[in-house]
């Protein structure tokens, strides 16, 4: 999923702030802006402050996966949204 | 990683901002008790606002905005009187609740005095510190956490750091830094500078965990050679939301306090109680406080002690960490949890609710969970702590070591 998304056009309708292009890792900052969840899965309110929302999206990396820790200020929903590189099932019981 | 807007929101302290409004729901230490014994009025800065804090001859504490409502002269140079604080410029007198009690040059028959009020903070003394609350009324209870009320020998190291308090608090939910900053890096510096690094800090982390609880986040770790049955995991120690961390071990109990003085200045205090069992504690007429060094004579960070290393890591991130270019990994989940907690509590305040850690029923003592056997290091941790942490700069460092050694000998003798 990550690979497919990373081919998307930069910006992709998402407002880019002044941080894009600065720092040592501008590409990651740009991807973060593009890929971070914009709406609450619970109530569909905007999460991003730039979109008028009141939530928080904080990204961390777990191996090849990108995890977005989310909180919605409108309904209180909280959870992690994962851009998973692979989906693995469990191993069959012996 | 955060967006610039989220980082901006998270690091604000000003009134009217979501974070500033959240932070105004808590009590903060703004002076040492002994300072107002030595001189009854002094300036204090908190959450980007300037105040004059004072103690009247009757023993009442007060805190007023530093600028006099009349012509803006500093009340931190005021005259402390029985009823309050009088401006040095034209003599206007304000009570501890901010009421204007006297305007000497104005005519008596006008109601001008009633139209002027200095917005006052509320002030209490606890454990050798003067605490202030500048949020909306009614003020919540000042939390009487265990370290501030327990018996023992007190000691407060402090300094002012040129950075935002949130990047310091993020360190409190980052167990992994211990084995590197206070382990590998400590050994590296020790080798080059010719001293011994304490061995217990370098133990490899096998597992870390975080649990939200009624006062913040409990941080847990299992280090190599230990198990989940050991104190570091079973009990852990808490980040006390929003600006403290409770630590301890080997009869040393400590609250690490990080007061947001303004957006890019943090008062860092190490409030320590040495409480070894098996010895009588000496009387302390006042709690000793001392400034701990941040930089050496060349302007480089002092990194030959534990907190000096922490301060280097906090301050070198810059006045406000640029979280738009960070790279968090799985080992940083405690950091993401704390950011979410800040945001959740901002939302509670915006709904008119009390945030986490604000309570309104008086409790004589609030015990916080905190491990006793730190890093599985046993009794040697106390001496390591005094020799290689901020207590080494205490005027009573030698006496504290003797206290722990004496207590250890007494316990040994009592055990036969």
Chain A within 8 Å of B330 (Cβ-Cβ)?
A: yes
Measured CA to CA, the distance from residue B105 to residue B289 in angstroms comes to 42
Q: Calculate mean pLDDT across residues A23-35.
A: 72
Measured CA to CA, the distance from residue B66 to residue B77 in angstroms comes to 9
Measured CA to CA, the distance from residue B379 to residue B250 in angstroms comes to 6
User: B337 to chain A: nearest residue by CA?
Assistant: A69
* ipTM value: 0.84
Q: Note the pLDDT tens digit of each residue in B132-187.
A: 999 999 999 999 999 999 999 999 999 999 999 999 999 999 999 999 999 999 99
User: A74 to chain B: nearest residue by CA?
Assistant: B347
Which one is predicted more confidently, B413 or B52? B52
A29, A62, A69: residue with CB nearest B340: A69
Res B196: pLDDT: 83
Res A86: pLDDT: 82
Q: Which residues of B touch A16 (CB under 8 A)?
A: none
A7 pLDDT band, cuts 50/70/90, is very low
User: What does the block give as tokens for B116?
Assistant: 């002027």
Residue A64 distance to chain B (closest CA, Å): 11
Q: Which residues of B touch A61 (CB under 8 A)?
A: 327-330
Which one is predicted more confidently, B20 or B115? B20
Chain A within 8 Å of B228 (Cβ-Cβ)?
A: no
A56–B329 C-beta distance less than 8 A? no
Res B21: pLDDT: 98
Residue B238 near residue B367 (C-beta atoms within 8 A): no
* Percent of the residues in chain B that have a pLDDT greater than 90, as a whole number: 80
B346–A29 C-beta distance less than 8 A? no
Res B115: pLDDT: 86
Strand partners, B65: B51
Which one is predicted more confidently, B294 or A13? B294
Peptide bond into B242 cis (omega under 30): yes
Residue B271 near residue B255 (C-beta atoms within 8 A): yes
Q: Calculate mean pLDDT across residues B408-415.
A: 88
In sequence order, what DSSP letters do the residues of A6-37 get, joined into one string? HTSPSSTTPPP-TTTT-SS-HHHHHHHHHHS-
A62–B332 C-beta distance less than 8 A? no
A2 pLDDT band, cuts 50/70/90, is very low
Res A16: pLDDT: 42
Res A3: pLDDT: 31
Run of H or E residues at B240: strand B237-240
Chain A within 8 Å of B322 (Cβ-Cβ)?
A: yes
Q: Calculate mean pLDDT across residues A69-93.
A: 89
Span between the terminal Cα atoms of chain A, in Å: 31
Res A56: pLDDT: 95
Res B106: pLDDT: 87
Q: Which residues of A touch B325 (CB under 8 A)?
A: 19, 22-26, 28-29
From its phi and psi, is residue B394 left (phi > 0), alpha (psi between -120 and 50) or beta?
beta
User: A59 to chain B: nearest residue by CA?
Assistant: B1
Compute the Cα dihedral for B28, B34, B40, B45 and give only its sign. Answer: negative
Measured CA to CA, the distance from residue A38 to residue A84 in angstroms comes to 17
- Number of other CB atoms surrounding residue A11 within 10 Å: 12
Q: Which residues of B touch A56 (CB under 8 A)?
A: 2, 6, 339-340, 343
Which residue has tokens 């107002």?
A: B36
Task: Name the average pLDDT for chain B.
Answer: 94
Q: Note the pLDDT tens digit of each residue in B236-281.
A: 999 999 999 999 888 899 999 999 999 999 999 999 999 999 899 9
Q: Which residues of A touch B (CB under 8 A)?
A: 17-19, 22-26, 28-29, 32-33, 36, 48-50, 54-63, 69, 71, 73, 76, 78
Which one is predicted more confidently, B319 or A90? B319
Measured CA to CA, the distance from residue A92 to residue A90 in angstroms comes to 6
Q: Note the pLDDT tens digit of each residue in B282-311.
A: 999 999 999 999 999 999 999 999 999 999
A23–B329 C-beta distance less than 8 A? no
Q: Which residues of A touch B350 (CB under 8 A)?
A: 54, 73
Q: Note the pLDDT tens digit of each residue in B369-396.
A: 998 766 555 557 788 889 888 999 999 9
Which residue has tokens 């604080």?
A: B85
Res A26: pLDDT: 65
User: What does the block give as tokens for B259?
Assistant: 């007061």
User: B328 to chain A: nearest residue by CA?
Assistant: A60
Q: What is the pTM of this model?
A: 0.91
pLDDT above 80 for A5: no
Span between the terminal Cα atoms of chain B, in Å: 57
Q: Which residues of A touch B333 (CB under 8 A)?
A: 60
Which distant-in-sequence residues (6+ apart) come within 8 Å of B297 by Cβ? none
């Amino acid at each position: 999923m990550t690979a497919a998304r990373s081919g998307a056009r930069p910006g992709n309708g998402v407002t880019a702030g002044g941080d894009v292009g600065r720092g040592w890792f501008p590409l990651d900052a740009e991807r973060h802006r593009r890929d971070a969840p914009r709406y609450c899965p619970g109530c569909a309110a905007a999460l991003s402050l730039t979109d008028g929302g009141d939530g928080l999206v904080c990204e961390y990396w777990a191996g090849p996966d990108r995890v977005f820790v989310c909180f919605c200020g409108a309904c209180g929903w909280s959870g992690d949204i994962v851009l998973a590189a692979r989906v693995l099932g469990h191993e069959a019981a012996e | 990683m955060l967006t610039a807007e989220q980082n901006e929101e998270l690091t604000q302290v000003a009134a009217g901002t979501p974070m500033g409004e959240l932070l105004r729901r808590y009590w903060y230490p703004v002076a040492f008790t002994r300072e107002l014994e030595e001189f009854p009025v002094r300036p204090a800065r908190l959450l980007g606002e300037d105040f004059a804090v004072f103690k009247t001859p009757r023993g009442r504490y007060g805190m007023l905005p530093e600028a006099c409502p009349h012509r803006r002269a500093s009340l931190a140079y005021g005259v402390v009187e029985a009823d309050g604080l009088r401006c040095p410029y034209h003599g206007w007198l304000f009570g501890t609740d901010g009421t204007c009690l006297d305007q000497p040059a104005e005519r008596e028959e006008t109601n001008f005095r009633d139209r002027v009020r200095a917005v006052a903070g509320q002030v209490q003394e606890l454990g050798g510190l003067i605490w202030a609350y500048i949020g909306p009324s009614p003020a919540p209870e000042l939390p009487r956490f265990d370290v501030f009320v327990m018996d023992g020998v007190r000691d407060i190291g402090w300094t002012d750091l040129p950075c935002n308090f949130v990047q310091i608090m993020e360190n409190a939910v980052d167990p992994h830094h211990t084995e590197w900053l206070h382990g590998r890096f400590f050994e590296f510096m020790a080798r080059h500078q010719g001293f011994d690094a304490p061995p217990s800090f370098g133990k490899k982390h096998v597992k870390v965990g975080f649990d939200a609880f009624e006062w913040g986040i409990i941080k847990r770790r299992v280090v190599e050679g230990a198990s989940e049955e050991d104190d570091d995991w079973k009990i852990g120690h808490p980040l006390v939301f929003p600006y403290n961390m409770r630590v301890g071990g080997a009869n040393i109990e400590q609250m690490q306090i990080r007061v947001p003085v303004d957006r890019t200045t943090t008062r860092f205090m190490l409030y320590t109680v040495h409480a070894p069992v098996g010895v009588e504690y000496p009387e302390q007429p006042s709690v000793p406080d001392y400034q701990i060094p941040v930089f050496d004579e060349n302007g480089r960070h002092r990194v030959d002690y534990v907190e000096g290393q922490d301060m280097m890591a906090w301050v070198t991130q810059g006045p406000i960490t640029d979280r738009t270019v960070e790279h968090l990994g799985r080992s940083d989940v405690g950091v993401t949890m704390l950011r979410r907690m800040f945001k959740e509590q901002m939302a509670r305040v915006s709904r008119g609710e009390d945030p986490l850690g604000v309570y309104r029923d008086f409790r004589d003592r609030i015990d916080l969970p905190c491990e006793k056997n730190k890093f599985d290091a046993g009794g040697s941790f106390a001496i390591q702590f005094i020799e290689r942490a901020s207590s080494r700069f205490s005027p009573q460092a030698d006496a504290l070591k003797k206290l722990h050694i004496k207590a250890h000998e007494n316990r040994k003798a009592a055990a036969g």
